[in-house]
A and B are shown apart, each in its own frame.
Chain A
Amino acid sequence: MGRAEDGDGAVAYNYPHFDDYVADGGDLADETAFWASPQAGRRAPDFTLHGLADSSQVRLSDLWRSQPLVMEFGSFT
C-alpha cells in the first residue's frame, strides 16, 4: 500500500482539457493501463483512501477482509 506525493504526476493526471487529453492519446493509454492492471485471481492492490462521509482513513483490505467488495471508479461526469 502507499500514497503518491502530490507533484508533477498530479498535474499531468488531472488534465484541464478533455480534447487535449484525447489528442495526446490519453484515452488510449488508459485503456492499455487497464489491461496491464492485476488480472483476475491476482491479489488486489491495497491502499488507504479518504472517506468522504466522515474524513476517516479507509483501508481497502479492511473492506474485503470478511466479504467481497464491489468498487466502482468514476467522477461527477
Chain B
Amino acid sequence: MFVYTREAHPAEDVQHHDSFARKLSGAALLRDETGISRDILVDDLAGTVHRAYGMMPNMTWVIGRGGRVAYKANWTSAANVEAFLIRFLAARTNHSPATTAVMYETQQVEFRYPDRKRFSERLRRNGPRAAAEFEKAQQLWADRPSS
C-alpha cells in the first residue's frame, strides 16, 4: 500500500497542505493522475506516521507478519524491494528449524534512471513556482561542501 505524506514540490496549483481536506485532494490527484492502483492511506496533517518512519520523501518499508521491521530503504527502488521480497517470502516458505532471521545492515549505492521529462512535466503540473524552486535547490546542493 501507499502512504500519502506531504507535497515535496508544492506550488500554485498543487499547494502545500494547510488543511486535511487539501491533503485528501492531493492524495486523490496522486491516485487519478499517476495511476497508482494500490490502496492509498493518508497520513494526518502533522505527518505523524511519516515522522515515525523517518521523513524521507519516497521510502519503502516492509513489515513482517506480526509487526517487525523486515526491510527499510531511504529511497524506493522497485528492483531492490522485489529482490528482497523474493528472498523474504522464500525463507517463509522453506522455513526449517535451523532458519534464523537476524538484523543485517548494508548500505549501497543504488542506480536511478530518472525520467527528466516526466519529472519536469510533474513540476509544471504543480505550478510555475515548483520548477523555479527546484532549480534554486539544485544550486544549493551544488554549493554544499562535499564530505
B-binding residues in A (CB < 8 A)? 2-7, 9-10, 13-19, 21-23, 29-31, 33-47, 49-53, 58, 60-61, 63-77
Contacts and interface: CB of A to CB of B under 8 A. Distances in A.
Contacts of B113: none
Contact of A68 (B8, B62, B134): B62
B86 interface: no
A6 B72 CA distance: 27
Chief secondary structure at chain B's binding surface: mixed
Among all A-B residue pairs, the 6 with the closest Cβ atoms: A34-B54, A37-B54, A30-B55, A19-B136, A49-B41, A4-B46
Interface in B27-54: 27-31, 33-34, 38-54
B78 to A, nearest CB: 9
Contact of A13 (B14, B15, B47, B59): B47
Nearest to B10: A16
Contacts, number: 241
Interface residues of B, number: 84
Given A19-B140, A52-B41, A41 B68 contact: yes
A9 B51 CA distance: 11
Contact of A73 (B5, B27, B125, B130): B5
Residue with the highest number of chain A CB atoms closer than 10 Å, among B17, B81, B130: B17
Nearest to B47: A13
A51 B31 CA distance: 12
A75 to B, nearest CB: 5
A35 B73 CA distance: 10
